[in-house]
Structure 1
Amino acid sequence: KVAGEYYHLVYNNIFDIRACSLRLTNVYGPRQLIKHDRQGFIGWFIRLALENDEIQVYGDGSQLRDFVYVDDAAEAFLEAGASDTCNGNVYNVGGIEPISLRDLVKLLLEIAHAGTVRYVTWPEDKRAIDIGNFYADSTKFKNAVGWTAKTTLRDGFLSTLEFYRKNLRHYVDATHANES
């Protein structure tokens, strides 16, 4: 990721090709991958809740993260692309506020009216790569273009759950996976 970012900035500086980098945290929303958990946990948690299944959280769930709804992320890209100020710069783009995984799962299950949660001991291989608390400070980007995330986690979950309730089979059924 960093190498790609640097290549863009080098081309910006040497060849005057407009480029900037947005470092997004935990983008979620309709059409994200929910078939498995290998590309992030939020889509997987959404699927488990929809299927009234158990969500396993490692440790006590106190680790903090932030989440950006896909529409807010798209708006950030549009703002950056239209801005001369952003040209040649790197920005963090995060959600409204950090939330513990414990509170995130509680909110998701409340909104989904389904699913359960179980806190489990960290597997050693997962613990070794855990990043601890991580959430973005979007202040620099806000100062550059005025952007802030607008979609609350509650509203984003409501919209996402509504989408998947209508389209779940296209995202989890192997016979329909290539249609999405």
Structure 2
Amino acid sequence: MKQKDSLKFTNKIVPDTIWREAYVALSHYPELRNTPIELRFKDKIKKSFMQAQPNFGGIFKKRKNRGYTIYISKQFNIEDQEFSVHTVPKDVLIGWIGHELGHVMDYQNRSGLNLVWFGIKYITSKNYIREAERMADVYAVNHGLGENIIATKDFILNHADLSDAYKNRIKSLYLSQEEILVLIDEIHEEKEELAVD
């Protein structure tokens, strides 16, 4: 069902221009099939390209009744470089969306009070930001998006115009490519063991 500038499919609202990438990312999270999620463009997001959060009015609802919004910055600046959601490679965009869906998975496992506490700690503690971001990466990798998460890291870390200070911040907060590859190997080993059994 088409809306003004978004597509709606099974309680998901997604801007037309990124519906393919969103669909690929969402297809890796069958547990979120019945969860209302809206991906919404926003003019500017502080210090970030995307941001997932529970809908404020639903924080204290039963977990199965909560909805979530993933805000996406149409244009985002990293230092003096400006990037557009429309010029980011598709596999990178899928990885970014998959990472944010990892946050949604994490939020679903929390009570309303725990979500409030999570928000307070997230804005006051760098160590907690690191823990939350790495957890979202783990969810994405465990849901089959490891290659996309690596592509996202490569996009940032191999961008010649970005400073070492910014790249070091990314390295300190998120899983490294090496850690992601270890997780991918562990997942393959588990699948092989299950196939043998």
Question: Is TM-score (shorter-chain normalized) higher than 0.5?
Answer: no
Larger Rg: 1
Q: What is the TM-score with the length of structure 1 in the denominator?
A: 0.25
Which fold has the larger relative contact order, with Cα–Cα distance below 8 Å and residues 6 or more apart in sequence? 1
More helix per residue: 1 or 2?
2
